[in-house]
Amino acid sequence: MNTHFPQLTDIRSPTFTQALQHKIDTKTKPLGALGRLETLALQLGEILGSHCPELKDPQLVVFAGDHGLVRRGVSAFPQDVSWQMVENFLAGGAAVSVFARLNQIALTVVDCGVNHDFLAGLPAGAGRPGLQVRKVPGAEQGTADASEQAAMTPLQCQQALQNGIELVKALPGNALLLGEMGIGNTSAASLLLARLGGLDVELCTGAGTGLDAPAVQRKTAVLRDVLARHPQAQAPLEALAAFGGFEIATMVGAVLQAAHERRVIVVDGFIASSAVLVAHALQPLVLQRCVFAHRSGERGHEFMLQHLGVQALLDLGLRLGEGSGAALAWPLLQSACAMLREMASFASAGVSEKASEPVESV
C-alpha cells in the first residue's frame, strides 16, 4: 500500500533534556520525590520543546465506526449501539462527555463509518455541533466482514488515514486525546495485536463489551479463522486493511499527524493503543509524543503495552473506551506542567538543599 507520511524527527536533545531534568531535580523536594510525575513532566517538556510547558486547547476526539465482523457474534451488544452511543456523546450523556466537560476538554465525535446517517432530515450542507462526518466513499456503513474478505480495500484504508490527517490539521491546541466507539472494535484491535505483535490470538482476546467465558472462546475461534484467512497481511497497513476498522485507520492518520505537529497525544485504552501500535510500526518515533493514560482491563492491552515497551499512568480496571481513561488522566498532565512552571526551586525559595554529608542527630 503506497501511503507516505511525513518522516518524524527525533525530538530528544541531550542538552535540552539535561537542562530540563536539572530544573526538575532542583525543585523544592527531595530528588525524585514526585515519582512518575517527574518523568511525565520531562516527557511533556520534550514534546512541547519548553522548560515551562503549557497545555492549550486540548481536543478529545472520539472516532466511531462499525464492523462487518459483528455478524459473527463477537460482541455482546448489537451493532445499533454504535450509533446510539454517538447520539449519547452528542447529547452530553456518556462517561467521556461528563469527564471532558469536567476537565474543560473540547469533545468531537467523528463518524468514520457508522451504519447510520446522523444528518438525516437536515438541509443539504448542514451539520451538527460536535460531530464531524468523515465516512469513506463506498463504505459508509462500516467495514466488510473480515471473516469473508478484507475489512477494507487498500484505497479505502488510505482514504481513512488521510481523513485522520486532515482532521488533526484543522484542530486547535497542542494536545490530542484519543477516544473511540464501535461495536466489534475489540476484535479488530485483538487481530492487529496478534498479527503485528506476533502473539497467539488467545492472549489478545478478551470479553470486550461483556462476553462470558464460553462466548470469549467462540470469539477467539472466529478471530483465529480471520487471521488464517489473511496470511498475506503482514505489513502494518496491510493488516489494518484486512482487519479494520475505519475508526482505527482514521485514528492512525490522526496520530501520525499529531506526532508530526509535536502535539501531546494522550492514548486511552485497548482500541486507541491499537492505532498507536500501527502508527508505531510505520514510524517508531511516534511513541516519543504519546502518553498512555491507563492500563485497560481488556485482556490484550497489557500485552500491547509490553510490546510497545511503555507504561501507563493509571490502572483502574477501566474497559469502557470512549476516551474515558484519557480524560481521567488529563489532570495528571496538567499537574506535571504546572509543577515545571510554578513550583519554586531551592534557590528561588531560599530553602536549603540536601546536605552533602548526613547530619548527625544530637
Q: Which of 247, 322, 342, 353 is catalytic?
A: 322
How many other C-beta atoms are found inside a 10 Å radius of the C-beta of residue 91?
10
How far is the C-alpha of 329 from the C-alpha of 327, rounded, in Å? 5
How far is the C-alpha of 290 from the C-alpha of 300, rounded, in Å? 19
Question: Is 202 marked active-site?
Answer: no
For 192, 237, 285, 300, 305, the CA distances from 277, given in Å and listed in that order, are 8, 11, 12, 12, 9
Torsion sign across C-alpha atoms 348, 350, 351, 353:
positive
The percent of the chain in helix, strand and coil, each rounded to the nearest 5, is 50, 10, 40
Cell of 145: 466482514
Which residue carries 470512549 as its cell? 322
How far is the C-alpha of 155 from the C-alpha of 48, rounded, in Å? 34
Bridge partners, 116 (sequence order)? none
**Catalytic positions, please?**
322
